[in-house]
Structure 1
Amino acid sequence: MNKVLIVEDEMSIAELEKDYLELSGFDVTIALDGVLAKRAIEHQAYDLIILDIMLPGTDGLELCEQLRRTLDIPILMVTARKEDIDKIKGFNRGADDYIVKPFNPNELVARVKAHLSRYRRLTNRESTHQLIEIGNVTIDPPSRKVSVNGQIITLTAKEYDLLYFLACHPNHVFTKEQLLERIWGFDAIGDSSTVTVHIRKLREKIEGNPSKPNVIETIWGVGYRLKK
């Protein structure tokens, strides 16, 4: 049974999310703030986290960044803000997806299922693959670890999935829309900023000079490709 952690300070919303997820067969825990969330994670391994941005004390964005230092599981952020800049901030901190309040609980359940299914499918497929080397970048699929010049770097779940997918299709050009569908599984946000932000973050972590990338190239007017 998949375990989901809901980090939400409004108990009525948390309970609603919990009820719908439990009806779909998930094992759900609620944490009302960042401190309780960290405590829950110390004592239990979770498969996915639903994280509200507006939390008392440490807000959801900061908490997401902290969690990403040790976790690569999907993180879905919940917010009342609709502005694209807020979504981009979340992606920069390591979020995999966004859902805006008020939302249909059935949509939340559908997104949770989609992210878990894709994460599980990619993880299972990687378990039989050998090392992938692109210049000074090495990908170890069984452990989902990436190193640059021999040094392990930290990637979010979607950053890793994006890099791994491109590495499995070297020199193939993909549009932003194709990458959004292949990596996120559905039009999660409705625009290409999702892919753009993740490509930029990847370049910052694996490229010697992110402004002049040698690994992930931009094909202007088309999309991106991994050069090998």
Structure 2
Amino acid sequence: MHRLLLIDDDEALAAPLTQYLARFDFELSAVTRPSAALQRLASEPFDALILDGMLPEMDGFAFCKQLRGGQAPWREIPILMLTARGDLTDRVVGLELGADDYLAKPFEPRELAARLQTILRRTRRAPAPASPSTLMCFDGLQIDTTRRQVTSAAGLLELTSTEYELLTLLAREPGRVFTRDEILNRLRGQEADLYTRAVDILVSRLRKKLEPVEALKTLRNAGYCFALPEVAS
């Protein structure tokens, strides 16, 4: 059973959504304000958040930013943002602030369940058995796939689950060019939609966290690749 926290000021949404998501082994709790969400997060474990973009006290985007800059484990908890219908700006902002996925309102509950399942599959993968191959060493960067940790000369990097998955996807095949559609398919586990701008935002976020290491290379009109040389561990 996966525990979810819904943060949405529409109180009528919680009951039917709780009943529907229970079919997919989700246990949903709901609050209407960010302050109440923080209290629940401080006292209970949750596997993912469903966060509305429009909230009292502060909007969902500001709250997403607060969570990503806050204390562990809040920094890494998967976040699915609910955005205004067809509003591309909301999607871009949410992803830039660290959300793992987005869904436009009004939405189909089945699609919400599918996206949550995808996010949790990605973040709940069982670690590989400890062995030398779980440590990937590059010039200026080290990726420990057993602990899901990335370190540079600056120390341990704080990456979201999606940023980590993107980095390891590229690092496992240095020099290979991945198109935006390939990256979307691999990270989401579903067919890519037309919103390939999400990949550009994700790469931009990851680049900033890797600075001054220049690990990601952009090939115009082609895609992205991992550019660091591998070194002996």
Same fold (TM over 0.5): yes
**Is 1:208–2:202 an aligned residue pair?**
no
Query: CA RMSD for the aligned pairs?
Result: 1.8
Q: How many residues align?
A: 222
Give SS of 1:139's match.
strand
Give SS of 1:174's match.
coil
**Partners of 1:159 and 1:202 within 8 A in 2:** yes
Once residues 187 and 96 of structure 1 are traced to their aligned partners in structure 2, the CA distance between those partners, rounded to angstroms, is 16
**Partners of 2:166 and 2:187 within 8 A in 1:** yes
Please state how far the C-alpha of 1:166 moved relative to its aligned partner.
1.0
**Is 1:135–2:177 an aligned residue pair?**
no
Please state how far the C-alpha of 1:163 moved relative to its aligned partner.
0.6
2:115 counterpart residue number: 111
Query: Out of 51, 66, 84, which is 1:80 matched to?
Result: 84
Please state how far the C-alpha of 1:81 moved relative to its aligned partner.
4.1
Once residues 143 and 17 of structure 1 are traced to their aligned partners in structure 2, the CA distance between those partners, rounded to angstroms, is 34
Give SS of 2:57's match.
coil
Once residues 31 and 205 of structure 1 are traced to their aligned partners in structure 2, the CA distance between those partners, rounded to angstroms, is 32
TM-score, structure 2 length as denominator? 0.88
**Partners of 2:84 and 2:90 within 8 A in 1:** no
Gap runs ≥5 in structure 2: none
Shift of the 187–61 alpha-carbon distance from structure 1 to 2, 3 Å rule, reads farther
Once residues 62 and 127 of structure 1 are traced to their aligned partners in structure 2, the CA distance between those partners, rounded to angstroms, is 38
Once residues 134 and 7 of structure 2 are traced to their aligned partners in structure 1, the CA distance between those partners, rounded to angstroms, is 36
Once residues 8 and 145 of structure 1 are traced to their aligned partners in structure 2, the CA distance between those partners, rounded to angstroms, is 32
Q: Which structure 2 residues correspond to residues 1-228 of structure 1 after superposition, within 5 A? A: 1-69=1-69, 70=72, 71-121=75-125, 124-126=126-128, 128=130, 130-187=134-191, 190-208=194-212, 214-227=214-227, 228=229
Shift of the 199–23 alpha-carbon distance from structure 1 to 2, 3 Å rule, reads same
* Percentage of pairs with the same residue: 35
Please state how far the C-alpha of 1:116 moved relative to its aligned partner.
1.3
* AA matched with 2:104: V
**Partners of 1:98 and 1:189 within 8 A in 2:** no
